[in-house]
């Protein structure tokens, strides 16, 4: 499940806690625990919603994006730090072996 969360964030770039709980059909606290692993490793960061929200968000001039619908989960946004850095499946890894010089 931890790898699935990584892959989902790597593909989407940014996701709200609500998006993650709906996608994985998992309680918010369980998702937060898994995100904590990636946060400690520096692979995920918490995003300030005001830096990416559409103009008018939280001002009463909502255009229907519903980001303000549930502040406890919608305002909690997470971003994958480097979307291209998710590990490749084992079958795609290339290992170069050098002959022993001796």
pLDDT, tens digit (0-9, with 9 covering 90-100), for 48-62: 877 664 444 444 444
- Write out the two tokens for 40: 């400690």
pTM of the predicted protein model? 0.60
Is residue 99 in a domain? no
Print the domain residue range for 63: 2-92
| Cα dihedral: 34, 13, 6, 79 (round 10) | -30
| Residue 101 belongs to a domain | no
- Is there a domain that residue 100 lies in? no
Radius of gyration of the chain from its Cα atoms, rounded to whole angstroms: 18
Which pLDDT does position 100 carry in this prediction? 61
Instruction: Quote the pLDDT of residue 54.
Output: 47
On whether residue 66 sits in a domain, the answer given is: yes
**Assigned domain for 102 exists:** no
Total tally of structural domains belonging to the chain = 1
pLDDT mean by block of 10 residues, the chain; 102 residues: 92 90 94 94 87 50 49 74 55 53 62
């Amino acid at each position: 499940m931890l790898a699935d969360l990584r892959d989902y964030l790597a593909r989407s770039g940014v996701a709200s806690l609500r998006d993650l709980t709906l996608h994985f059909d998992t309680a918010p606290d369980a998702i937060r625990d898994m995100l904590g692993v990636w946060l400690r490793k520096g692979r995920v960061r918490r995003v300030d919603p005001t830096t990416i929200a559409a103009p008018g968000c939280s001002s009463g001039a909502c255009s229907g994006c519903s980001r303000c619908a549930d502040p406890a989960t919608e305002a909690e946004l997470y971003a994958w730090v480097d979307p291209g850095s998710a590990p490749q499946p084992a079958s795609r890894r290339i290992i170069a072996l050098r002959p022993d010089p001796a």
